[in-house]
Chain A
Amino acid sequence: MIRSCLPARAGLGFKPQHYQDALDAPGALGFFEVHAENYMGAGGAPHAMLERLHRDHALSVHGVGLSIGGAGPLDPDHLARLETLLERHQPESFSEHLAWSSHGAAWLNDLLPLPYTDETLATVCAHVDQVQDRLGRRLLLENPATYVTFATSTWPEVEFLRAIARRTGCGLLLDVNNVFVSATNHGFDPLAYLEGFPLEAVGEIHLAGHEVDAQPGPPLLIDSHARPVADPVWDLFARVLARTGPLPTLIEWDNDVPDFATLRAEAARAETLLHEVRHVAAA
């Protein structure tokens, strides 16, 4: 089983408009991450760019399409497409989400929440097993950002993730912004959540920007990936690193994407924090 082996440095989501900038800065970033589904065409520029980029940088393939948290069976065609993509590009890491994103024959293009019950746990674990068996890789599963919780849930999210990791042997992708967004939306303490999080299973960290929904009522944060990482999220990230040591850390900025220099500045801020804990670990 292939395990994630991204360098414990800061990485960026790759955007085609930044291709030349990325080539001009070999070594400046630890890795690039792409959404698997954007590279499921047969050929052309996307694959050519990815191949070239991968010569100088580690590559993380992040899926948004498996619907691992869905009630129905995984789409065998999508699994086959993933297998083809991973065979073709041999990325250093593959990750997916604790979420569902299709219903019946309809793909919804969003990461939707699920209740945490014994039944959904069994389904998710069966799906993760199937993915790992098929791809021959250890998957990193990402914690969600949610806007609702369900009265039917019988498991705390952290325990649900821990159980998935223990039963399937998968790793986890800790999205610190998602923790902050969910904590704000549902009124829990993000530090307490992180205190209980199975950090030993974490193979990658995500940091992203969020925004405040304009609706009246209690504050609702939306995981928009359209802004700089917020200060409280940087603080939580530093606290996680103090416990884990350096981990591969992605700056996710997928909407209203700024210029490459702005993205690199965000990555540099993450790199500074990674360097500090690297230094502590070495001392």
Chain B
Amino acid sequence: MSLPPDHAGFEAAFHAGLWTREAPRGLDPQRFSAYRNTVQHGLVRALAARFPVVERLVGAPFFAAMGRVFAATHPPASAVLLDWGQDFAAFLARFPPVAGLPYLPDVARLEWLRGLACHAADAPMIDPAALTRADPARLVLGLAPSVQAFASPFPALAIWQANQPGATPAPLPGGPQHALIARDPGLAVVVEPLAPAQHATLTALLQGRPLASAATSDPTPVLALLIRHRLIATVGELP
């Protein structure tokens, strides 16, 4: 027996062998396993690069096994691996072996949002003085594409921080936790804790709501963060 002679048949048979224990007909199983290993290892390492704290929390051997399941069931849709992993948090929430770590999907979501912030489009930054020239009651802010709002019922932010290189062990706070995630002008990704009401304001601003209706409480702390990290791209006024 040998591989199908036609190009499409060959490719389908070779591909099928990458995700089973069976090498395609006509190929040395040991040699073929080198491809199975490089494909699976390569995808797992790409996933680990995107979700390093998830890997640290479950340990590298467990992550490798789990990553192979994810890669087989949710393979990247394109060669742009920066775009791969959007479904990882939802996958973790349904993956029975990690059911005992209920905060894990939120840690994954935080890491995903950091990636979005890191690679989001560049945007021009307004002069903060423009804010003072507009009528506060009619102000509409356009935020930089890197700005993300994060919320978790768990202390996911503290867990993430405690698992950064060089972090010193500290008692974990309780949940929930909220944060603003964005890219600052130095191109570093920043993660700023928010109070729940501030998170609500940020979420409303991200939806394009005018500042006056976005803020259910004093908007100053959120505005201060947005100005400090230069995350306001446009300032408009309602007609």
Contacts and interface: CB of A to CB of B under 8 A. Distances in A.
Interface of A: 37-38, 40-48, 64-67, 70-72, 75, 77-78, 81, 100-110, 112-115, 117, 119-120, 123, 147-148, 150-152, 185, 213, 215, 217, 220, 222
Contacts of A81: 80
Interface residues of B, number: 46
Interface of B: 2-3, 5-8, 10-12, 14-15, 18, 26-28, 30-35, 38-39, 42-43, 46, 75-82, 84, 118-123, 145-146, 183, 187-188
A150 B119 contact: no
18 contacts: A37-B79, A38-B82, A41-B80, A41-B82, A46-B119, A47-B122, A71-B10, A103-B15, A106-B76, A108-B75, A109-B76, A109-B79, A110-B42, A112-B35, A113-B35, A120-B7, A150-B26, A222-B34
A78 B10 CA distance: 23
Contacts of A222: 34, 38
Contacts, number: 138
A185 to B, nearest CB: 8
B111 to A, nearest CB: 15
Given A44-B118, A77-B78, A107-B77, A112 B43 contact: no
A150 B26 CA distance: 8
B48 to A, nearest CB: 13
B81 A147 contact: no
Please indicate which of the listed interface residues B15, B80, B81, B188 has the most CB atoms of chain A within 10 Å of its own CB: B80
Given A65-B80, A67-B79, A150-B10, 15 more contacts: A37-B79, A37-B81, A37-B82, A43-B121, A43-B145, A44-B119, A45-B187, A71-B10, A105-B75, A107-B84, A109-B76, A110-B42, A117-B7, A147-B32, A215-B33
A150 to B, nearest CB: 6
Please indicate which of the listed interface residues A44, A104, A151 has the most CB atoms of chain B within 10 Å of its own CB: A44
Nearest to A221: B34
A8 to B, nearest CB: 30
Given A41-B82, A48-B187, A110 B38 contact: yes
A137 to B, nearest CB: 18
A75 B2 CA distance: 29
B183 A109 contact: no
A66 B36 CA distance: 20
B75 A106 contact: yes
A213 B84 CA distance: 29
What are the 6 closest A-B residue pairs judged by CB atoms, nearest first? Answer: A65-B79, A41-B119, A43-B122, A106-B75, A42-B121, A107-B76
A109 B39 contact: yes
Contacts of B26: 150-151
A123 B10 CA distance: 14
A101 B187 CA distance: 32
